[in-house]
Structure 1
């Protein structure tokens, strides 16, 4: 599936439509095969014990699925999550970013399905796995 919106334009779009999380996420790679995105983990994302919280990891998975979809359909701010399943498999390392590897599995006219693996930066073992479905608004 070809990319319609390159990484730099997608980052600007995210800042525009979601100013409340500006600077929280970065796009490392965006091509037909894979989206690599990161949560710039900071104090606000930590839970007791000093590791990145589940809600912060969910946010990264959700934004990664959104970006993977938008990059292919174009800038459509009103696409929404309709389903998410996430498995937290191990504790993320303290003091490092969480990195998402997102693959768009299906893109239809009304739904997209994305698989996202989350990693502590520098670790080969995923800390979480998520499957997300997005609803795509009808063309106007």
Structure 2
């Protein structure tokens, strides 16, 4: 447990995400963003987000809180044998002008310990 007055940082709580509410009801724009190689997907499996950290990040953070979200291209998630049924537009990272679109997608998997071996998460982190 983190020390009193200290919370574990949430890697998804950065302030640089424009929710872009004006674009959420535009299916053509959303479809184009899902085809854009610059867009990214936050894979979610059983209500859990995938995070990673490098050895350098571990060494730099003695408290072990140097996690960052794994962001995959939409084509990786869509190419799974069971592609996501729903894509959730989170917003634009980097602002409205030139920002890349971020989505969340549920990654199918059985009731076992992890996503299936043909899941887009297999080997991702």
| Shorter-chain TM-score range | under 0.3
For normalisation by structure 2, the TM-score amounts to: 0.27
Structure having the higher Rg: 2
Q: Which has the higher helix share?
A: 1
Q: Which has the higher strand share?
A: 1
More contact order relative to length (CA 8 Å, sep ≥ 6): 2
For normalisation by structure 1, the TM-score amounts to: 0.25
